[in-house]
Copies of this chain bind each other. A is one copy, B any other.
Amino acid sequence: MHRTKVRVVEDVLDANNTIARANREDFDRHGVTVVNLMSAPGAGKTRLLERALDGLAEAGVRAAVLEGDVQGSYDADRLSLLHIPVVQLNTDGGFGGECHLDANMVRSAIPSLPLADIDLLVIENVGNLVCPAEFRVGEDARIMVCSVTEGEDKPLKYPLMFRACELVIINKIDLLEHLDFDLERLEANLDAVHPGVERVRVSARTGDGVDGIREWLVRTTERASAVA
């Protein structure tokens, strides 16, 4: 029975990768860099986007957000205040309440996205440390946000997620002094599963370190454009 299950999982991921490549071609045709933003629920993805996307137009990058949630549009409503295109994608509408975005869901949203008018699309995934890492959606890069309130052990407990990303954002550092949290130990655990992965320490609340995210987004957008 286990072998059958693994086989089904492989078929699902194969099908997903085929659709992800189709998404990738659509994004490439319009010269759009795509970043898949992942984290546990409540790690601060939306607040970080509010901070990091503000001022990105001045840096020459026109951004849009594809907002993934099981249901509701709370984050999309917040981000729409930035006056950038925001498209909501709910996984409960016909998708069975999935705990992650997959390539097919993102594909269904492409007609709603102004690809011709943007340089960067940030896809905010459903808050979850397991399944989002298994499903490519056609992105250039992946960002993983972890918060210092979640404990130092998360890279060891959810290694695929921390291995499948190009940038790790360590958020909520303004709370460090009020926690029994060892930042060195988190980074050591991070290096144990993804040696040397680029990382940035930030506080979405105070804005501390957010410049580093903005610079990374600009750099990643330029690099992807140069390759395309």
Contacts and interface: CB of A to CB of B under 8 A. Distances in A.
Given A5-B96, A71-B157, A156-B72, A42 B128 contact: no
B157 A41 contact: yes
Contacts of A154: 41-42
Contacts of A95: 2, 5
A130 interface: yes
- Copies of this chain, how many? 2
A6 interface: yes
A43 to B, nearest CB: 8
Nearest to A126: B130
A97 interface: yes
Interface residues of A, number: 43
Interface string A1-17: 01001100100000000
Interface in A122-163: 126-131, 134, 147, 149-151, 153-154, 156-160
A172 interface: yes
A99 interface: yes
A109 to B, nearest CB: 15
A175 interface: yes
15 contacts: A6-B96, A9-B96, A40-B127, A41-B129, A42-B147, A42-B154, A69-B157, A71-B157, A74-B157, A98-B130, A99-B99, A99-B130, A128-B128, A149-B149, A149-B172
Given A5-B94, A175-B175, 15 more contacts: A2-B95, A5-B96, A40-B41, A41-B150, A41-B154, A41-B157, A41-B158, A70-B160, A72-B156, A74-B157, A97-B130, A99-B99, A126-B130, A147-B149, A178-B178
